[in-house]
Amino acid sequence: MAATKEEMRSLAIATKRDHTRTVIVVGIAIFSVFMLLGILNLTNQVDMSFKKLELLDNNDDGVIDKWDANVGYDAYDLEDTNNNGIIDEADVDGIPDQGQSPMMRFLNFLFLGLAFLFGPWAFYASAKAKNIEAIEKRIPDFLRDVAEAGRFGMTLADAIVVASSGRYGKLTPEIQKMAAQIEWGVTATEALRLFAERMNTALVNRVVAIVIKASDAGGSVADVLTMVAHDTKEEQLTQQEREIAMSTYLAVIYIAFFVFLVTIIILNATFLPKIRIAGMAVARAAEAAGLGSSSVGGMSLDVSVIPQIEVAFFLASMIHAVGDGVMAGVLQNGRVSDGLKHSFILIFLGIIILTLT
């Protein structure tokens, strides 16, 4: 059924909405909320630890293993850290390296906020890029059909109108829009120029520029369209081969990130606890010997820096996630937006894995 004049007019003047600004505003709003929560945790006004606070040293190894709600706080040999005269929940903060420190809680919310700051835009921009790629993929087919119509004596404008009834995937609405514009008196070259402005990609701009020049110069436009279609197809095949080759490096980047996480997990689970136990043993030996410092025979261990080491490990993981993600996207298809999408994924996986282990 042929479209009415009113439908053709609506199609000719229709424009696609770009929600980039809305997505960016939403990302900034979410980032602001996470930053507020991070500052509240940093100043210890709230405690929103991602790890459960555990307070029972079952095997006397210096590491608190489990909290028993049926036992009072005074049974855990806590100090009255806030000097209120009683041993209560507030004194839990006096136990080192339990739950999450204010700085660690702040960093959790900081990097989650950063992930949501660029994550929604990255996914939206990536989706737009994939949609444009799907449109560009069918351009060679469209050009070949227009060229064939031209060989049968049709003008460029008539060929575009005839092609609008074909099936070209996501390119079809754009061809229908050009046909509607031509039906309403817009020249074929102007309709193509408006199409190039809507797409605004290097490939479309180059193809449209060549077609317009050939049409203005006269002669056999069909031959030019055939050559442009062939050249465009070859370029797309080259790009696909590059993406397939780069997918191997993408896998290597993800594997390297998880190897880095496993290394940190092993250090946190084995190395740092042993250092803490050794430091406590040195301190007890120094106390038993009546020494004023935790030094025995010239040997000392400052276990107070262990929380700072854990913070450094976490920061290294997050920096690794952001950098690796951007590199993965750039290597894959040269787009930073795809890289930030990978960074979003790696940040979430890093926080989840480091929190659960």
201 and 162 within one domain: yes
352 and 244 within one domain: yes
The rounded distance, in Å, linking the Cα atoms of 219 and 36 is 66
185 and 53 within one domain: no
139 and 11 within one domain: yes
Residue pair 317/354 in contact by the 8 Å Cβ criterion: yes
144 and 9 within one domain: yes
> What is the domain-level CATH number for residue 9?
1.20.81
pLDDT at 124: 92
Residues 6+ apart with CB under 8 A from 193: 208, 212
pLDDT at 93: 45
Per-residue pLDDT of the chain (357 residues; tens, 9 = 90+): 444 555 545 554 555 667 888 999 999 999 999 999 999 988 888 878 887 655 555 545 545 444 444 455 445 445 445 555 444 455 444 443 446 778 888 999 999 999 999 999 999 998 888 888 888 888 898 888 888 888 877 888 888 888 888 888 888 888 888 888 888 888 888 888 888 888 888 888 888 888 888 888 776 788 888 888 888 888 888 888 888 888 888 889 999 999 999 999 988 888 877 777 776 666 666 666 665 555 544 455 666 677 788 889 999 999 999 999 999 888 888 788 888 999 999 999 999 888 877
User: How many H helices and E strands in the chain?
Assistant: 12, 2
The rounded distance, in Å, linking the Cα atoms of 62 and 48 is 25
Length of the chain: 357
The rounded distance, in Å, linking the Cα atoms of 252 and 331 is 12
Residue pair 57/64 in contact by the 8 Å Cβ criterion: yes
Q: Is 72 helix (H, G, I), strand (E, B) or coil?
A: coil
Phi/psi-derived region of residue 348, left when phi > 0, alpha when psi is between -120 and 50, beta in every other case = alpha
Domain count, the chain: 3
The rounded distance, in Å, linking the Cα atoms of 126 and 341 is 8
Residues 6+ apart with CB under 8 A from 165: none
Query: Position of tokens 């010997």?
Result: 289
The rounded distance, in Å, linking the Cα atoms of 257 and 249 is 12
The rounded distance, in Å, linking the Cα atoms of 252 and 82 is 50
Instruction: Choose one of 98, 127, 156: the last residue of a domain.
Output: 127
264 and 199 within one domain: no
297 and 228 within one domain: no
155 residue type, one letter: T
Q: What is the Cα gyration radius of the chain?
A: 32
Residues 6+ apart with CB under 8 A from 198: 15, 16, 174
140 and 13 within one domain: yes
270 and 322 within one domain: yes
Residue pair 74/87 in contact by the 8 Å Cβ criterion: yes
Instruction: Choose one of 208, 237, 266: the last residue of a domain.
Output: 237
Instruction: Choose one of 205, 237, 269: the last residue of a domain.
Output: 237
Q: For residues 250-289, b (16+ Cβ closer than 10 Å) or e, as one string?
A: beebbeebeebbeebbeebeeebbebbeebeebbeebeee
For 101-155, the pLDDT digits (tens) are: 788 889 999 999 999 999 999 999 988 888 888 888 888 988 888 888 888 778 8
The rounded distance, in Å, linking the Cα atoms of 136 and 203 is 8
110 and 193 within one domain: no
246 and 289 within one domain: yes
349 and 261 within one domain: yes
Tell me the residue range of the domain where 266 lies. Answer: 240-356
Tokens of 271: 């190395």
Tokens of 310: 């854990």
Neighbours of 194 (CB within 10 A): 17
